[in-house]
């Protein structure tokens, strides 16, 4: 994902597992400190302001290192 500094970022997060025990998360560390979990069949929305420049790793804490990506915040 790429955002400009100051952008409002909204992530629509869908857990497509069919069993409720199939957990996933959208987790990103400092400075954003987001950790949203879902069970199978749930969805969630995470919103935040991209107020720090740099590259930040996001991941599923239940399925690392397979499920991961990067948020790049540019000036």
Distance in angstroms (rounded) separating the CA atoms of residues 75 and 65: 29
Distance in angstroms (rounded) separating the CA atoms of residues 50 and 2: 10
CB within 8 Å of 6: residues ≥ 6 apart:
49, 50, 51
Q: Please give the pLDDT value at position 20.
A: 86
The CA-atom distances, in angstroms, between 49 and each of 11, 61, 67 are 11, 22, 23
Token pair recorded at residue 67: 């499920």
Q: Is the full-model pTM beyond 0.75?
A: yes
pLDDT tens, residue by residue, 17-56: 999 899 999 999 999 999 999 999 999 999 999 999 999 9
């Amino acid at each position: 994902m790429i955002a400009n500094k100051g952008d409002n970022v909204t992530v629509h997060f869908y857990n497509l597992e069919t069993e409720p025990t199939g957990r996933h998360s959208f987790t990103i560390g400092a400075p954003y400190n987001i950790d949203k979990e879902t069970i199978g069949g749930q969805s969630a929305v995470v919103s935040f302001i991209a107020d720090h420049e740099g590259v930040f790793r996001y991941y599923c804490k239940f399925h690392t290192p397979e499920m991961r990506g990067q948020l790049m915040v540019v000036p």
